[in-house]
Amino acid sequence: MDKKSDGFTLIELIVVIAIMGILAVIAVPRLVGFRIMAEESVCVANRETVERMYTAYLVENDIDHEDSNFSQFVIKNFHEVCPAGGVISFEDGKVKCSGHGSGSEGEEEEGPGDEVPWL
């Protein structure tokens, strides 16, 4: 009996689909992590830009900071500061994001008990 084999067997297809599923399970969380890191990097860069421009705006117009001035400045000059949808504010001379805090990339804000004591 002469059997002609033109395609893949069911077992071969199941093995290939299983391997692709395993690769997807490994790759998807890493890609989501990269997206989150990219959003945070964009937020940090945008906050630094807003901070510099707002400080220059205050000096040029010889006015003091008020929340209403900051809100109007951001609405007038920026479409979106935080790509993750965080709300920004200006406190203590720094632009802060409700989603990403106020620290720069790689910096973690330390609490009072997190410091390393010096001898």
Tens digit of each residue's pLDDT (9 = 90 or more) over 66-90: 989 899 999 999 888 898 888 999 8
For residues 45 and 118, the model is more confident at 45
Segment 5-31, tens digit of pLDDT = 678 899 999 999 999 999 999 998 888
Q: Work out whether the CA dihedral 17, 23, 28, 29 comes out positive or negative.
A: positive
The predicted model scores a pTM of 0.63
Phi, psi for residue 53 in degrees, rounded to 5:
-70, -40
